[in-house]
Amino acid sequence: MADMLSIGTSATNSFKRALDVTSQNVANVSTEGYSRQRAEIVSNSPSSAGSQFIGSGARVEGIERINAEYLQTQLASSQSLVSRYDTQVQLANQVEGVIASNDQGIQEFMQRYFDSLQSLSNNPTSDTGRQMLIDEGNNLQSHVGNLISVLDETEYQVNAQIGGLTDEVNSRLETVQSLNAQIKSSNRVGIQAPNELLDQRDQAILELSQYMDIKTFPQENGTVDVHTANGRIPLLSDNSITRLEADRSPYGDDNRTELYVTIGGQKQMIGNQITGGELGGVLDFRDNLLEKSKNDLGLMLNGLTASMNWQHYQGYDTNGDAGGDLFTSLSMNAINNTNNLGVETGTNILVSFNPNAGVSEPPYDGLTALSSQPATFGDKELYLQNAFTEIGRFESRSYELRYNQTTDEFDFFDAQTKNPLLDSTGNAVSLARGATANIEGMSFDLSGVVNAPDDGDSFLVKPHQAILEDFSQALTVTEKVATRGQSPIDANNDGSILDEVPAAAAEGDNVNISNLAGLQSAKLLLADSSDVGSETLLGGYSKMATNVGMYVRGSEVQLTAQTNVFQQMTDQRDSISGVSLDEEAANLVKYQQAYEAAAQIIATSQTLFQTILDAVRR
């Protein structure tokens, strides 16, 4: 009877524990990240009675957490991608309407400006037409300024968002660290870690993956190490946190927030190692849409400014003076790296559009005084063609110049990819200290760099973004509009005016203003290997708008695809780890009945034992 009683007792304890576990599952049916549990009921070791073995009942060996680690890892990876593309779409949609829309956009204002040029060419002596040209130039300047303000505000938002997301990452790392410590403590005293702690840690890791892509490494002591997705940077190792830091770019004047970690006392930038989560989405948006759009827009504006100015230089105004700037010409200095050790601060690295540097001394700059004109009209034509050629060589990029002490040269790199800049023959681009050269259409003047920088000192140049801040109409006086072309008088009767001294055509001539209007259809931008342009000025803007639209559409397609994958992963996890109320209800009935039957065993055992006692008393 003692065996029957112990079997009944162990059975009631086991089924009571199973009922407790089932109740816990039901209670957490809506708990985020909860994995259902199961009481593992196993048979006790049998006892021997002579030559026979008699069963000893059952016991709960443990509470199993129903969880597939590989699914949890895949779920975190999938969520990281969903968060990335969702962030990209949200940010991209903010600027798509402003950049890509042709309704009251820059393209329309450019068209109106060209229309005013065409109207003036039809009546070149009209003061009203000249004023209309200036007014449309002001309208274009104003609209460009509005667009740049939107882009700048978006840039500030991105910087703030990077800082906020960095705080979220560090907070989640602290949560994982705390749970690691509790789980390790449970393992140290030889008891099973509470399943709820494991669930909470998985959920914290899943939430962390929402902000950046990560890789986890389980340790023997029960803790989990967390690294960046490429495994290079430990964020949580030996349960010690390496915090992310959001700080200004080393090019302090660039107004750009970067991500850093400090390892071994060395602060290193890690933004290029984060490609997933909201952080990855923000960084991708900044580099591949916002930064690129600003360079694309700046390239078009530099093309507009340079082509308009140099064509205007060819003509003559009401007073017979040579044309000057229609728009303010590009002129900028390089941005200094705060980590540089040398004395050069970038102020002596000058960048401008000077297509005829070294061709004429001084280079023809369109000054209104006739004394500043080239020797012949043919020279003017040559300088104009040089300008158009250099405009076609513009590339939508920023530059990083690194000083090489061995060669006493500045090596050129793409500022975004950090790859060396290559010329048309595939050779790395460099420029000697003290020299001046046109590189991808821009004049880099290093003649003022007298003192050599330290080896490796670097400087940032963003010529196509500098024009965004400086774009403005330079011509504001109607009589300064150079509508007239070169005088057609062939003084030496050789059949050509190319060798004639620059001189204004008669009043009412419209050659130069017609040539200015004709720039609307001229393919000036993005020349091929033969220096033949492939895009008009308006086409350059359209191409930029198309790139923005393609980025948005691509991000939306990826978001849809990754959302579907994430949902499939979630459903698969729920099918394994999720709580089914139907299943738990069935278990409640089963364990309740089993518990009542086990209790009946105990009652029967007590009745039989009482019967024996009564018989003995007689």
Closest CA to 253 of 140, 317, 345: 345
591 within 8 A of 19, measured Cβ to Cβ: yes
H/E element, 259: strand 257-263
Closest CA to 308 of 474, 138, 99: 474
Q: How many other CB atoms sit within 10 Å of the CB of residue 175?
A: 16
> Identity (one letter) of the amino acid at 197?
L
Q: How many other CB atoms sit within 10 Å of the CB of residue 587?
A: 20
pLDDT in tens, 54-78: 778 888 888 989 988 889 999 999 9
Closest CA to 537 of 296, 331, 329, 353: 296
pLDDT in tens, 462-504: 999 999 989 999 999 999 999 999 999 998 889 899 999 999 9
CA 417 – CA 415 distance, rounded (Å): 6
404 within 8 A of 411, measured Cβ to Cβ: yes
Cα angle 132, 137, 139; round to 5? 95
What is the pLDDT at residue 8? 83
400 within 8 A of 415, measured Cβ to Cβ: yes
Longest dimension (CA), the chain: 156
Q: Which residues is 226 bridged to in the sheet?
A: 216, 236
In 351-495, alpha helices (H): 377-392, 463-470
Cα angle 357, 359, 362; round to 5? 65
Confidence grade of residue 104 (pLDDT, cut at 50, 70, 90): low
Mean pLDDT of 546-559: 94
Can you spell out the DSSP letters for 320-376? SPBP--SBPPPEEEPEEPTT--SS--STT-EEE--TTBTTBSSPP---SSGGGS-SS
Closest CA to 391 of 329, 479, 433: 329
What is the pLDDT at residue 190? 61
Cα angle 391, 392, 393; round to 5? 90
CA 138 – CA 78 distance, rounded (Å): 50
What is the pLDDT at residue 563? 96
CA 344 – CA 254 distance, rounded (Å): 17
Mean pLDDT of 422-446: 95
CA 158 – CA 56 distance, rounded (Å): 67
Instruction: State the chain's mean pLDDT as an integer.
Output: 91
- As a three-state string, the secondary structure of 102-144 is CCCCHHHHHHHHHHHHHHHHHCCCCHHHHHHHHHHHHHHHHHH
pLDDT in tens, 200-235: 999 999 999 999 999 999 998 889 999 999 999 999
467 within 8 A of 294, measured Cβ to Cβ: no
Residue carrying structure tokens 């048309």? 424
315 within 8 A of 484, measured Cβ to Cβ: yes
Confidence grade of residue 342 (pLDDT, cut at 50, 70, 90): very high
Name the token pair of 468.
Answer: 């965004």
What is the pLDDT at residue 467? 95
Which runs of E-coded beta strand occur in 134-230?
Answer: 214-218, 224-228
pTM value is 0.88
Residue 373 has pLDDT above 50, yes or no: yes
Say if residue 362 is preceded by a cis peptide, omega within 30 of 0: yes
Confidence grade of residue 363 (pLDDT, cut at 50, 70, 90): low
What is the pLDDT at residue 1? 44
CA 83 – CA 19 distance, rounded (Å): 39
Characterize the bridge pairing of strands 214-218 and 224-228.
Answer: antiparallel
What is the three-class DSSP state of 608?
helix
Which runs of E-coded beta strand occur in 471-618?
Answer: none
pLDDT in tens, 15-62: 899 899 999 999 999 998 899 999 998 988 877 666 677 778 888 888
In 439-521, alpha helices (H): 463-470, 511-518
The ranges assigned to domains in the chain are 2-66+582-617, 283-537
Q: Is 517 exposed, middle or buried (0-12, 13-18, 19+ CB in 10 A)?
A: buried
From residue 277, alpha-carbon distances to 156, 166, 534 in Å are 20, 12, 38
Residue carrying structure tokens 């009683």? 5
CA 289 – CA 158 distance, rounded (Å): 12
Name the token pair of 324.
Answer: 């000057």
